[in-house]
Amino acid sequence: MTTNDALARVAEQRERLAERARLPWWFWVLFSVATVGLVGCTLIQDRLPAGVGTWLVVWPSILVYLVAEWLVRRTRGISLSRRTFRDYPSARLPSVLFLVAALVGMFVVMVTAHVRPDIAVVALVVAAPLAVGAMVWVQHAMLADIRTGRVRTP
Amino acid sequence: MTPARDPVFEVGPRLAIGALLQGAAWADFATVRDAVGAGDSVISKHARSLEDAGYLEVRKGAVGRRPRTWFRLTGPGRSALESHLAWLTSLSGVLEGTDADLPS
């Protein structure tokens, strides 16, 4: 095997890993449902008796996310590092964007849900897709790092 | 990281196995076998060699009733692979330079 053949084989394996690491469409559906539920939970919690909203929205959203991740791990045959920020250099910026979108969205919805529900709905409509979009970006960045061998798993 | 040739990665599909595992935390046996395109016995044999060299960690478990084997590169394995890849890349650069100097 020549040097170039060996390097081509390495590139081929990285590409195969990236293909396998790509999250399926149903994961994004479940992830979007969970994100909308978590960012907008206060909107529903305020309209239900104390504690009921948590059981109807917050726990099911967390459960949906955990089930989605479990299904992915079970079907994919690989597991990737959970330390996205440390191990995938290209995913740092979108990871920060995801956290900002999700946390700011949750905060604005929480603060305004009781007094200005219209603002809370707008915050939910803006923040949830932004958070999901940032997570899609995270995924693309991770795949790019896998393809170029930039993953820093110790 | 110093580029260094590592003979462990020069035999059979070990470089391919290493390259596949480089980007993953863990990969199961079937995934490695399918991606590398080798048979069960070949993967087992070379996984054992990588494990003996201290480059591969093997974990056996089960999903339901099915036994499943998972692989991951160890820290030394990852370092050795990165050094070997750096050596291959530098060698490739040198060879390309040599080719460019050859009269057509």
pLDDT digits (tens, 9 = 90+) for A93-152: 999 999 999 999 999 999 998 889 899 999 999 999 999 999 999 999 999 999 998 887
Judged by average pLDDT, the poorest of A19-23, A60-64, B12-16, B63-67 is B63-67
Q: A51 by DSSP, 3-state: which?
A: coil
**Distance from A116 to chain B by nearest Cα, in Å?**
46
Chain A residue at shortest CA distance from B79: A154
ipTM: 0.84
Extract the tokens encoding A115. 């007094």
A1-26: average pLDDT: 91
- Cα–Cα distance measured from residue B19 to residue A12, given in angstroms and rounded to the nearest whole number: 9
pLDDT at A1: 67
B75 and chain A in contact, CB less than 8 A: yes
- The answer to whether residue B56 is domain-embedded is yes
CATH code, domain carrying B35? 1.10.10.10
- The answer to whether residue B47 is domain-embedded is yes
A53-64: average pLDDT: 88
Share of chain A above pLDDT 90, in %: 63
Please answer whether residues B25 and B42 qualify as being in contact, where contact means their C-beta atoms are separated by less than 8 angstroms.
Answer: no
Number of compact structural domains in chain A: 1
- Cα–Cα distance measured from residue A116 to residue B2, given in angstroms and rounded to the nearest whole number: 61
Q: Which residues of A touch B25 (CB under 8 A)?
A: 78-82, 153
- The answer to whether residue A154 is domain-embedded is no
- Cα–Cα distance measured from residue B70 to residue B67, given in angstroms and rounded to the nearest whole number: 10
Number of compact structural domains in chain B: 1
pTM for this model (two decimals): 0.84
- The answer to whether residue B75 is domain-embedded is yes
- H-type alpha helices, A22-58: 25-39, 41-45, 52-53
Please answer whether residues A76 and A20 qualify as being in contact, where contact means their C-beta atoms are separated by less than 8 angstroms.
Answer: yes
Q: Is the pLDDT of residue B103 over 60?
A: no
Q: Which residues of B touch A3 (CB under 8 A)?
A: 88, 91-92, 95
Share of chain A above pLDDT 70, in %: 98
- The answer to whether residue A20 is domain-embedded is yes
Which tens digit of pLDDT belongs to each residue from B60-71? 988 778 888 999
Domain span holding position B63:
26-82
| Closest by CA position to B71, among listed B51, B85, B87, B53 | B51
